[in-house]
A and B are shown apart, each in its own frame.
Chain A
Amino acid sequence: MSEMKRPNPLLRNLPAKLATSPMIFIVLVVFVGSTIWTVASSFTGIKTLPIFTPQEFYDNWVGWDQYVRLWKTPRWITSITNLAIYGILFSGFAFIIGFLLAVLMDQKIRAEGVFRTIYLYPFALSFIVTGKVWAWILNPAFGLEKTVRDLGWASFSFDWLTNRDMSIYTVVIAGLWQGTGLVMALMLAGLRSIDDEIWRAARVDGIPKWRTYLQIVVPMMRPVMITIFVIVASGSVRVYDLVLALTQGGPGNSSQVPSMYIYEKLFVGALAQGTAASSMLLLATAVILIPWIVVEFGKKSRG
């Protein structure tokens, strides 16, 4: 047995490796390559036109200047803070509300299809439409505030959209309205995949329903939960069009998000500033993701 020639590890599963080679190529060239370019150009002073040769990089090198400017810019600090607020609140509430809706939906209610459609419908709308609709609803001049006042409650005030301390929370509200339905649908699918036998066993043992959910069903749904978390978290880092349609980043710069800053700088003659900002965002994402990847996948390989 031990004399048998060991197969070349490179040739193992050759068809599978061949089949995935286009994907590997794209990942290496498009994602990794572009990332390296972005980080490298953030140390230069380039304005409008991208550069590619080492000589050009050498000629335009400015060191950490772009990062110094970035962290001195109040708008960037606001943007990063807003992203943290939005990311935490949106992910958290989407999870909790989505799960509660899914549990309620799981109670063998009548006309489940109707409710599921209603909750999932907002997800079919683009962020631009969602943003515009909520901009009208929340506009104090003719939206919710005026309607309630016209009904007789004259002192009613709901001016979050035009209040610089609260404007980012209107983005969270609109984001939740749009995104919770999807989380609910995914959670519901997860709940339905739990074997009925487990429910019966729990009932025989006399475990109350809420404890069955919390201590048996939720741990069993771990893979689904992780998938949902990745979808929701990556969605909140990308938030851009919702803010644009809802608040335009205002009042002032109070509801700006990093992607708006990056996009603007990339194309108004401050290319390197834009790439520096996106490198910062990449770094922030990596700091959160890498420990999780190590913990999650490191465990499996140890078997």
Chain B
Amino acid sequence: MKYKYLVAGLLAATALTSAASAADLEVTHWWTSGGEAAAVAEFAKAFDATGNKWVDGAIAGSGDVARPIIISRILGGNPMGATQLNPGKDADDLIAAGLMQDLTELATAEDWANILRPKSQMDSCTLDGKVYCVPVNLHSGQWMWTNRKVYEDAGIAPPTNWAEMVAAAPALKEKGIIPLSLAEGWPIGLLTEDLIVAIAGVDTYVSVYKDRNLDLARGPEFGAVFQAIDAARQIIDPKTVVPQWNDAVALVIQGKAAANVMGDWAGGEFAVAGMVAGKDYDCLPGLGVEPVLGTGGDVFYFPKSEDPEVTKAQLALASSMVTKEVQVAFNLKKGSLPMRADVDLSAANDCMKKGLEILDQGTKVFPNNSQMLDRDSLNQINDVMKEFFSDLTITPEVAQEQFAAIIEAAPK
């Protein structure tokens, strides 16, 4: 008798799961700040509307915290339904091992190659002619954010570039205001790269990071960059360094700090705080030196599943992420640029419009760091820069040589 009930129960359970021809997908990502959480809710809403269920797997911290967790789960045979990563080399080994779902069919059917731009993002998702990820947005890291009111209250004209910001620092410090807020960890690496781009120029940056030009890395162009970073670390009081990037942005929003260097994702935080670009705050692409745009951003990968229902749900999610409606809703909240050129962005704020203009020109666009260097080398560069920032006894020359040695040792 007992067995009969058990068998009946099991049958009923299987019947139930197969009757609902939809699946729950756990989606891991590291979007946890206010603006980011609002944006990711748009993805969840659109996916739930397809009859499937979005199970949110947010990992607090940053990409540096989340990436090892994501990769160890996929390697360890406990994959999620879908996961955020950055475009570039992070997932190459996993794809080569056959652990990732091939999206080529869907990409061809929906003509991603033509509706999504710039081309570099699709290239990053394509390995040996097959598409493995879907790019959802375009982020550039080369922005300086300033609070206009703080400068005006101090009787200083709001700066229009990096040099003016540095020049205004002593006067602000006297008034007890942090001239440049900074967060611990990867934001220091970001500031470094932004200064490379602003001071040495895009071509030099790409030449060193992508083509591993060691003469440039050890030469005077990069020497000037390290001198500028040296000037930056002199105006930052170590006591004011905060743990997370959004804390550093919040200091600018609250008027406790005057400026911050952060990617365009900071725009989402200003929007959540109800501030208006051009009136309450300024956003300066390329740190105000030259308007340029790195093609960073986010992509979603789908670890391979044995269950056909899950695979179906994965394709449904990939498809919904690039629809016009979702692209607009998501990117407005995220403060990033949409992957599609054919969407209506009249609701975009001034900062996003600046970014779109640069993107449309096309010539001022350059690859993201993770598209040029492997993650291990990028982390080593971050380690060098973190030390350089916190230890004033390290000279710019020593830091430059350490940096060049990492570029030299990086795998091709």
A residues whose Cβ falls under 8 Å from a Cβ of B: 47-50, 69, 73-75, 140-141, 159, 162-164, 248, 250-254, 263-270, 273
Contacts and interface: CB of A to CB of B under 8 A. Distances in A.
A56 to B, nearest CB: 13
A47 B93 contact: yes
Interface of B: 64, 67-69, 71-72, 75, 89-90, 93-94, 96-97, 184-185, 238-241, 243, 374-376, 379-380, 383, 386-391, 402, 409
14 contacts: A49-B93, A73-B383, A74-B387, A75-B387, A140-B239, A159-B239, A164-B238, A251-B390, A252-B391, A253-B387, A267-B68, A267-B72, A269-B93, A273-B376
Contacts of A269: 89-90, 93, 374-376
A270 to B, nearest CB: 4
Contacts of B94: 48-49
Given A49-B93, A141-B240, A268-B67, A252 B185 contact: no
Given A48-B94, A269-B375, A250 B390 contact: yes
A162 B237 CA distance: 10
Contacts of A266: 68, 72
A251 B184 contact: yes
B193 to A, nearest CB: 18
Given A250-B184, A269-B89, 14 more contacts: A48-B94, A141-B240, A251-B238, A252-B389, A253-B383, A264-B64, A264-B68, A266-B72, A267-B67, A267-B75, A268-B67, A268-B376, A269-B90, A269-B93
B175 to A, nearest CB: 17
Contacts of B89: 269
Nearest to A48: B93
Contacts of A141: 239-240
Contacts, number: 83
Given A252-B389, A252-B390, A162 B239 contact: yes
A253 B386 contact: yes
Contacts of A263: 68
B295 to A, nearest CB: 21
Nearest to A251: B390
Contacts of B239: 140-141, 159, 162
A251 B241 contact: yes
A48 B184 contact: no
A50 B77 CA distance: 13
Contacts of B374: 269
Instruction: Among A162, A164, A252, A254, find the residue whose CB has the most chain B CB atoms closer than 10 A.
Output: A252
Nearest to B388: A252
Nearest to A74: B387
A45 to B, nearest CB: 9
Nearest to A69: B409
A245 B64 CA distance: 15
Contacts of B375: 268-269
Given A140-B239, A268-B376, A250 B383 contact: no
A163 B383 contact: no
Contacts of B409: 69
Contacts of B97: 48-49
B386 A162 contact: no
Nearest to A250: B184
A74 B391 CA distance: 13
B233 to A, nearest CB: 11
B379 to A, nearest CB: 6
A164 B390 contact: yes
Contacts of B238: 162-164, 251
A220 B242 CA distance: 50
A164 B239 CA distance: 11
**Which of B93, B239, B375 has the most chain A CB atoms closer than 10 A to its own CB?**
B239
Contacts of B71: 48, 267-268
A241 to B, nearest CB: 12
A138 B83 CA distance: 36
Contacts of B90: 269
A162 B241 contact: yes
Given A49-B97, A141-B240, A269-B93, A250 B67 contact: no
